Chains A and B, each alone.
Chain A
Amino acid sequence: MARPFKPKVLTANRLIEGDVVYYAANGEWVSAHENAMFIEDEAEANDLLAQANAQSYLLVGPYLADAVLERGKPVPTHFREAFRTRGPSNYDHGKQAEA
């Protein structure tokens, strides 16, 4: 039996900078996880991933990551994805610097 689909965000790294980015509902790639599109439909998720894979001039390694909604915004469920939203814990060299 197929497992129920868990909601996702679509994420990748930017080709030049390597920065972590998320696909937003307006079709842009943004750096804040909370602005990512919350994808609840499996077919849509797979379509968007296929489109992202075709944007290799812009992105590296797109994939779908689990997320849940908290106060209307997507939040990662796994600590690895949580680290990707902010950067390393030893220096403010990642997205923390932008915050």
Chain B
Amino acid sequence: MYSYSQFDKDFVQTRVDQFRAQVERRIDGSLTEEEFRPLRLMNGLYLQLHAYMLRVAIPYGTLNSAKMRQLAMIADKFDKGYGHFTTRQNIQYNWPKLNEVPDILQALADVEMHAIQTSGNCVRNVTADHFAGAAADEIEDPRPTAELLRQWSTDHPEFAFLGRKFKIAITGSPNDRAVTKAHDIGLRMVRNDAGEPGFEVIVGGGLGRTPMIGKVLREFLPREDLLPYVESILQVYNILGRRDNKYKARIKITVHENGIERIRELVEERFVLQRAAFGEFNHALFNDIEAAFAPPPYISASTDAFDAAKSSDPAFRSFVDTNLSAHKNDEYAIVSISIKKQGDTPGDATSEQMRVMADLAEKFGHDELRISHEQNVILPHVHKSHLHEVYKTLQAVGLGTANIGLISDIIACPGMDYCALATARSIPVAQEIATRFDELKLEHEIGALKIKISGCINACGHHHVGHIGILGLDRAGVENYQITLGGDGTETAAIGERAGPGFSADELLPAIERLIYGYLEIRADEHETFLQTYQRLGAEPFKAALYPETKIAAE
């Protein structure tokens, strides 16, 4: 775990003190809302439908038990006893009071956390593969590079007022769990012919109003060149990007309008100057960062008890089948804790649950936790001999749901239950779908399926890359839901295709049921996933299942 340097501490503390004074001046009337708004947004404080919302950064999704316990304390003392984990590996509090926000920020600073750059047209919290440092398929842990990017981007004066927000994601694995192709910049670690690790640089991806899959700007970039190269991209975007139209201001539009070749030319031109300006790569600094992410002191012990529990406890076996992933150490496993119990709000954890997860991390997980962009919590390093006890402890507080990657493991943005930008609700839709398929006991039979729901076109719920995407809209004053099919957020990223006319809130669940029953009928066998069937047969049979009346009319 990276620990703050004195510089980091001083910087974060200064920002807390500044914001405390700004809040005081807002409350005593010296600042108008117009003057205060950009200041509060720089500190992650939004005003939503029913209350303020504070978005706290969890850099590259990594935290330890002390941080998680502090998040739980904040939920109890300043909020309503829970927090919401987001698709950008952040946590959001939905009910803070303005006059208490400086105290919350102080409590965060006390454990080396903050809410800086979680809003505004700046470089946002850098996200990373949530299995980083543990995954069996990983080339190298990408988090030292993510931390380097954090240090570089924090309060970078040239990029504090970009044309629009800017999101960077990074993965060290060929299997992309960080959705790098849907970010302004995606960094995928690859090896060159000499076997050295570097990055494939992807630019111009993004979802929202105009979804785009990112394009490869550089096939191989040595790590030593990363900061000058990324800075060159930002400089080109800062000058070339549009400021006349908010909806055309993201770098995806800049890339689309100018062409990837032109962008590459400009970036490479800039890069020559930037590399000279940056000078020698600071190996000592990077080695220090790398040391902070060194693998934990793994233990070695018999895993017989794990095998025995798997045979004797069927519920545990089900958990093992869905919620564990391969660790680079054979005796270990990566545990995904589902924050998606059927019927509950996706991504919401109570303070008690946070404390239990913190305790488990401390006792059995080398004190490490991760937040995934899929709104789940990860224990990245658990020895197999401890898994049964971890499972039973989770089960006791409603965290033992065995549904990772299944139909009820739904990404859902807060939607119009909280968000001021939303055009429809998403949480109740997720709750209904998850509850229904749990009742039907079909989840495991359906197998791997990603449903992603957004409550507006901004696509925080990543609906474009859901195997089934659901977009909530306002159609003439009524909530209406559009379905997209065949999206993919991995290394084979694809934007889902719109299936047809939208459905009312009442029609949506039956439509999803028809779609799933349709899939179960046409799949080649039980191993062919929804996405594979879609890729094999195309949209038509799925559309026929969704719109049976159209089929009859056509006949």
Contacts and interface: CB of A to CB of B under 8 A. Distances in A.
Contacts of B534: none
A15 B99 CA distance: 9
A89 B417 contact: yes
A31 B145 CA distance: 49
B417 A90 contact: yes
A53 to B, nearest CB: 9
Interface in B399-458: 416-418, 425, 427-428, 431
B265 to A, nearest CB: 45
Nearest to A17: B97
Interface in B86-137: 94-95, 97-99
Q: Which of A13, A84, A88 has the most CB of B within 10 A?
A: A88
B428 A90 contact: yes
Contacts of B29: 56-57
A61 B47 contact: yes
Contacts of B49: 20, 80, 83-84
A90 B415 CA distance: 11
Nearest to A93: B80
Contact of A83 (B28, B99, B416, B477): B416
Interface in B31-86: 32-33, 47-52, 80
Contact of A88 (B32, B50, B99): B50
Interface in B237-278: none
Interface of A is mostly: loop
A89 B425 contact: yes
A72 interface: no
B425 A16 contact: no
A61 B32 CA distance: 11
Interface residues of B, number: 31
A16 B50 contact: no
Interface in A41-98: 56-57, 60-61, 77-80, 83-84, 87-91, 93-95
Contact of B97 (A18, A83, A94): A18
B95 A93 contact: yes
A61 B416 CA distance: 18
Nearest to B31: A56
A16 B47 contact: no
A10 to B, nearest CB: 16
A18 B417 contact: no
Interface residues of A, number: 25
Contacts of B99: 16
B47 A19 contact: no
Contacts of B94: 88, 93
Nearest to B26: A15
Contacts of B431: 90
Nearest to A88: B417
A60 B27 CA distance: 11
A95 B49 CA distance: 12
B24 interface: no
B522 interface: no
A28 B427 CA distance: 34
Given A90-B431, A93-B95, A19 B416 contact: no
Contact of A16 (B27, B345, B479): B27
A94 B27 contact: no
Contacts of B48: 18
Interface in A1-53: 13, 15-20
A46 to B, nearest CB: 19
Contacts of B95: 18, 93
A17 B33 contact: no
Given A16-B97, A18-B47, A80-B474, 18 more contacts: A15-B27, A16-B98, A18-B48, A20-B49, A57-B27, A57-B29, A60-B33, A77-B477, A79-B416, A79-B479, A80-B49, A84-B49, A84-B50, A89-B428, A90-B348, A90-B427, A91-B80, A94-B50
Q: What are the 10 closest A-B residue pairs judged by CB atoms, nearest first?
A: A88-B417, A18-B51, A57-B29, A18-B52, A90-B345, A94-B50, A90-B427, A56-B32, A16-B98, A56-B33
Interface of B: 26-29, 32-33, 47-52, 80, 94-95, 97-99, 345, 348, 416-418, 425, 427-428, 431, 474, 477-479
Interface of A: 13, 15-20, 56-57, 60-61, 77-80, 83-84, 87-91, 93-95
